[in-house]
Chain A
């Protein structure tokens, strides 16, 4: 019995040191945000499969690149077909699949949803380490830090127009979220966090009208309608006594942590400038 345990112990430590030495060679991602970081950090040969969402232009910033890889729908059986040595998943999505994969002994790295720039950088470094691509991770972190520095220098801190992010179904983003930080970087004052809203919450249309921000940040239309995306077309929003400036940010830019967040900051800075120019 003791010998059995010792063997298991030896084998598992051997496996662990081998994993540390060698880069994982068959990485499967079942999360859209992980897909994009994986494409930026890993060698193409390391990637076994990405989610089918990664190929969708409206959701992914690297849709073209994603087409070079096989697509999965995040089902355990599909994942196992690739005999992965590392599976990337989100902390809050596909919980049942992740539990199943862990139970059958697959190495799963769960990526949290970063709430600050520091957490974004930490996540990139963590993933770089797991992939054996530390140098590339450092380069990406450096690129993000440089964009942040540039944005901070450009922002007009003296006069900050107010803004509300209005997502489908009337959800808005408050303090303690990455998007709140990006709004600040663009020189906007997030009214939702001013009003004490934490992270992510629903803002009834009535409250939005009462807050009456200078800039309303909405997603871009996605072609076919849904009730969720129709809400920003409610007539009350076009009848406001002081019309709001509408800034359309494609959700793919800031839905996931990565360098594309700064394209969203550029759009927001532009909107802030236009709102300031208005009488």
Chain B
């Protein structure tokens, strides 16, 4: 394969600075997420207890309750930001995002089936399997219906169909559950939350998220070539079928794994790539790491916000991301309204 040469971004240094800045922001948000919570916790003392292996209550709260929450914010946000950037570049569609086109909703349905049927109680590993399988089916369905060169409108309409169906099926499955609490839990699955998740949830979600992200990063150079047009990419030696397989399986693994433990969190994959794209000279391969880190920052920040807002019970994460993301979507639609006709 030949390397694609682009006009270099304004300066290599500014890109490094961008990544360093985003990494620092993610690290800061991660630490803040550990420091903020509900109990009165002496953070420094608890951290010292954790590091010296003392079994204090503070150490327990930090390690078993706050750490999983912060880790999930980091991993899930990373996956969502990356998936959005890859999908927008590959589909050459500014509105492509796992939430909007229904992949997250479908993953929620898969996880709901596995969880409420009691399968996940038998083995927690089955929970992400359900999410991934359903996300894969939705991805294949969307490609079959909308295809790669579908217009924005076609893709979004197909996404609306998948989303509505997934939402209805989640509701159906929860209402059929004999457990009286199940029906009220639809908010978790359709809006997402990291509240009171455990290290077990991190452990089952991390492998698919990591594998999915690797597959998505592997599309980077093909995405650069694709930016020059499909024929150019093919003539440069990129097999777009391989890219498509990497994309569908990567999104299914990363988003399916994330949704299975945290519910569907919308708009992260839409907002972050759009904000960062001008900063990387519109080059897809540079956008991917930046967007992944940006997704982590946004998700961690939203999770800190829901803990600071004095609501009872705690707000779902998707409420905050939608309040940020929906106006953003409006502004995109406003700009695109000429092309959509």
Contacts and interface: CB of A to CB of B under 8 A. Distances in A.
A206 B38 contact: yes
Given A170-B196, A226-B181, A206 B61 contact: yes
B161 to A, nearest CB: 28
B239 interface: no
Nearest to A225: B121
A171 to B, nearest CB: 9
Interface string B5-44: 0000000000000000000000000000000011111000
Given A210-B40, A239-B64, A224 B196 contact: no
B194 to A, nearest CB: 12
B118 interface: yes
Contact of A204 (B39, B179, B199): B39
Given A226-B181, A228-B181, A207 B64 contact: no
Interface size class on chain A is 20 to 34
Contacts of B177: 224, 226
B188 A236 contact: no
Nearest to A235: B198
A14 interface: no
Interface in B300-322: 312-313
B200 A235 contact: yes
Contacts of B39: 204, 206-207, 209-210
A212 interface: yes
B144 to A, nearest CB: 33
Interface string B173-212: 0000111111011001000000010111000000000000
Interface string B313-334: 1000000000000000000000
A263 B71 CA distance: 43
B200 A241 contact: no
Contacts of B313: 169, 202
Contact of B312 (A202, A225, A241): A202
Contacts of A228: 179, 181, 184-185
Given A239-B60, A241-B60, A229 B65 contact: no
Contact of A240 (B60, B182, B200): B60
A168 interface: yes
Give the residue among A202, A206, A228 with the most B Cβ atoms within 10 A: A206
Given A210-B57, A241-B55, A226 B185 contact: yes
Interface string A170-209: 1000000000000000000000000000000110111101
A222 interface: yes
Contacts of A212: 57
A227 interface: yes
Given A169-B313, A241-B55, A234 B181 contact: no
A231 B196 contact: yes
A209 B60 contact: yes
A238 to B, nearest CB: 10
Nearest to A210: B39
Nearest to A206: B39
Contacts of B196: 170, 204-205, 231, 234
Contacts of B57: 209-210, 212, 240-241
A71 interface: no
Contacts of B117: 224
B41 A206 contact: yes
A204 B38 contact: yes
B240 interface: no
B178 A223 contact: yes
A246 B4 CA distance: 64
A59 interface: yes
Give the residue among B56, B120, B181, B199 with the most A Cβ atoms within 10 A: B181
Interface string A134-177: 00000000000000000000000000000000001110000000
A59 B180 CA distance: 10
B102 to A, nearest CB: 23
Contact of A241 (B56, B115, B118): B56
Interface in A222-264: 222-229, 231, 234-236, 239-241
B282 interface: no
B143 interface: no
A210 B177 CA distance: 34
A225 B198 contact: no
B179 A222 contact: yes
A240 B60 CA distance: 7
Contacts of B312: 201-202
A204 B198 CA distance: 14
Contacts of B55: 239, 241
B180 A209 contact: no
Contacts of A170: 196
A226 B115 CA distance: 8
A236 B118 contact: no
Given A205-B196, A209-B60, A224 B116 contact: yes
A59 B61 CA distance: 34
Contacts of A201: 312
15 contacts: A169-B181, A170-B196, A204-B37, A206-B65, A206-B66, A209-B57, A223-B178, A224-B177, A224-B182, A226-B116, A229-B179, A231-B196, A236-B60, A240-B60, A241-B56
Given A207-B38, A224-B117, A225-B121, 15 more contacts: A170-B196, A205-B196, A206-B38, A209-B57, A210-B40, A223-B178, A225-B116, A226-B182, A226-B185, A227-B188, A229-B179, A235-B64, A235-B198, A236-B60, A239-B55
| 7 residue pairs, one from A and one from B, having the closest CB atoms | A236-B64, A206-B39, A228-B181, A204-B38, A226-B181, A226-B179, A210-B39
